Structure 1
Amino acid sequence: MRTLVHLSDLHFGRVDHTLLTPLRELVERIDPDVLVVSGDLTQRAREEQFEEARAFLDTLPGPQIIVPGNHDISLYNVFRRFVKPLERYKRYITDDLDPFYLDDEIAVVGVNTARSFTIKDGKVSRDQLATVRQQLAGVSPSVTRIIVAHHPFDLPDHFEEQDLVNRAPRAMEAFSECGIDILMGGHMHASHAGSTAARYQMSEYAALVVQAGTATSTRGRGEVNSFNVLRVERDKVEIDRYGWDVVHAHFELVDTDKFFRAGNVWTPHNDGLMAAGL
């Protein structure tokens, strides 16, 4: 089994600083095999915000798989936005925009979906999908394959289609060919875990999609600050969601979702069906 801590949308520049120490201490106790951060480390891609983000990341365990979000590209500085869109991100966070982690149980692939030409939307390119294929080529079929991106490839029905990353259907076709098991993302400041089967009706394939809320931002959009912990086995994934308890000033376990895999299809655990052996 591998344990992953999934943080997203830190938004340094609009951070509730009272959350940082409790978050760091809890992550240390969880002691993950991999720490995932799915974008928007800053609020406005300013130098001091990246410095704060870097200092916080340095207090957390590794290895770390980190991808940028749309907020990590300058909004108002036109030169930086279009000529050097991720220069500060690469200087302070990482210059690897296609991060990759592999051990004998999991492969974690980072995909940069942040783009200069749009304010908040994201995109995945053919070249990026080709890179995913290359990174996973030769990886054992027994290894659980995980994609990390800022913008979501799937969301519940009550979200708009435009909230999905651009070219999501094409990406899902590539992911099905690569045998991707889990899609991890952020952007919406909303927690969610589910199967891609409803939106993408693909023969004998359905991935598990895991969205994280904002771990530390003051912009909760109606949801408390939260993060995910994934416990990944070959044919089973448990997702713990931790939410901020304002009264007791700590993160506490809010709920747990369980998913099982049959072939290349991930489905939610159902106690009644499992008890009946169906």
Structure 2
Amino acid sequence: MKLVQVSDIHFGGENREAVEAAAAWIVEAQPDLVVAAGDLTLDGKAAEFEAAAEWLSRLPDPMIVVPGNHDTPFVGPGELFERFTRGWGRFKERFGDEDGAAWRAPGITVASLNSARIAQVRWNWSKGAVSHGQIRRVVRELEAAPAGDLRVVVCHHPLMEILGGPMTAKVHGGVDAANRFVAAGADVILSGHIHLPFVTAIPFGDGKTQAVGSGTLSVRERGAAPGFNVIEIEPECIRVKALAYERGQFDVWRTWAFDRRL
């Protein structure tokens, strides 16, 4: 099985050449699932959502889309009014509910949660949060997966800080969520947010749960060229390839491989 993981496209600030090339690459690859892990827009504007929806409509189905902290209006008085009256309205009109998207196929169960918030009791609203209710729901979905399924969780913010990462996520409830998801058998937790691809083991349980982050397809680069991840699932192994757009094409920037929990 092959998954494609994109995030932080930031329409309104996208790398147009890389975005077009990525669409062509993904269509040709025909993955089994496309995961869009948030920050589809730059400022949550209606025109940016239209561009994101048009681009994603060109990619193969099935697809799971979760929002990020940029995917609610926040620039200008009118946009702030929109944020606080129907903060996820623009997202929902185009992609469905902002929380709880799920997908299942033989051998794989995917759950998701919205780690972004319209407002928080702290100055930096861009940081993430996970509620107790979200944790309980994802745990139920993971525990209900058939034996032998690869169990995948999707959210925008890395639940735990990434060592050496270019920015922080500081997810309220993130460590508890990671711990509970590991206990429920999660194999992979997919995210974005920091604009840099990574794979790192979550230090709970048997140490086999991996956090996998994809880079950005925007001009807001942080240490890597615009790109996305390809995740290849084999019976005993998972391989992650971070592709980067350089010199007019996508090439492999870095690869990781790790054993599956059997």
2:144 aligns with one of 138, 141, 147: 138
User: Match for residue 213 of structure 2?
Assistant: 211
Decide whether the 8 Å contact of 1:36 with 1:64 is kept in 2: yes
Counterpart Cα distance in 2 of 1:50 and 1:203? 39
Counterpart Cα distance in 2 of 1:182 and 1:158? 20
1:196 aligns with one of 175, 185, 202: 202
Counterpart Cα distance in 2 of 1:174 and 1:203? 10
Equivalent pairs: percent with the same residue?
A: 29
SS at structure 2 position matched to 1:108: strand
Residue type matched to 2:199 in 1? A
Counterpart Cα distance in 2 of 1:224 and 1:195? 24
CA deviation string 1:73-100 (max 9, x = no partner): 1113332222211100101222352111
Change in CA separation of 1:12 and 1:204 when aligned onto 2, cut-off 3 Å:
same
CA deviation string 1:172-227 (max 9, x = no partner): 22202210000110000011112112xxxx3434411111110x211112321011
Counterpart Cα distance in 2 of 1:203 and 1:226? 31
Q: 1:108 Cα shift?
A: 1.1
Change in CA separation of 1:143 and 1:79 when aligned onto 2, cut-off 3 Å:
same
User: After superposition, where does 1:1-278 map in structure 2 within 5 Å?
Assistant: 2-76=1-75, 77-95=79-97, 97-118=99-120, 119-159=125-165, 162-197=168-203, 202-214=204-216, 216-245=217-246, 247=247, 249-262=248-261
Decide whether the 8 Å contact of 2:9 with 2:218 is kept in 1: yes
Counterpart Cα distance in 1 of 2:82 and 2:39? 17
Counterpart Cα distance in 2 of 1:154 and 1:194? 10
Change in CA separation of 1:203 and 1:196 when aligned onto 2, cut-off 3 Å:
closer
CA deviation string 1:31-71 (max 9, x = no partner): 11000000000001111100000000010001001100000
Residue type matched to 1:15 in 2? E
Q: 1:130 Cα shift?
A: 1.6
SS at structure 1 position matched to 2:70: helix
Cα RMSD of the aligned pairs, angstroms, is 1.8
Q: 1:26 Cα shift?
A: 0.7
Residue type matched to 1:84 in 2? R
Decide whether the 8 Å contact of 1:105 with 1:234 is kept in 2: no
User: Match for residue 276 of structure 1?
Assistant: none
Decide whether the 8 Å contact of 1:50 with 1:93 is kept in 2: no
- Determine which structure has more spread, i.e. the larger CA radius of gyration: 1
What TM-score, normalized by structure 1, do the two folds share? 0.86
Residue type matched to 1:173 in 2? N
Segments of structure 2 that go 5 or more residues without pairing to the other structure are: none
SS at structure 2 position matched to 1:92: helix
Counterpart Cα distance in 1 of 2:197 and 2:144? 33
Counterpart Cα distance in 2 of 1:219 and 1:7? 15
Residue type matched to 1:105 in 2? G
Q: 1:228 Cα shift?
A: 0.3
CA deviation string 1:236-270 (max 9, x = no partner): 1000111011x2x111122221101355xxxxxxx
What TM-score, normalized by structure 2, do the two folds share? 0.91
Decide whether the 8 Å contact of 1:142 with 1:234 is kept in 2: no
SS at structure 2 position matched to 1:83: helix
Q: 1:24 Cα shift?
A: 1.1
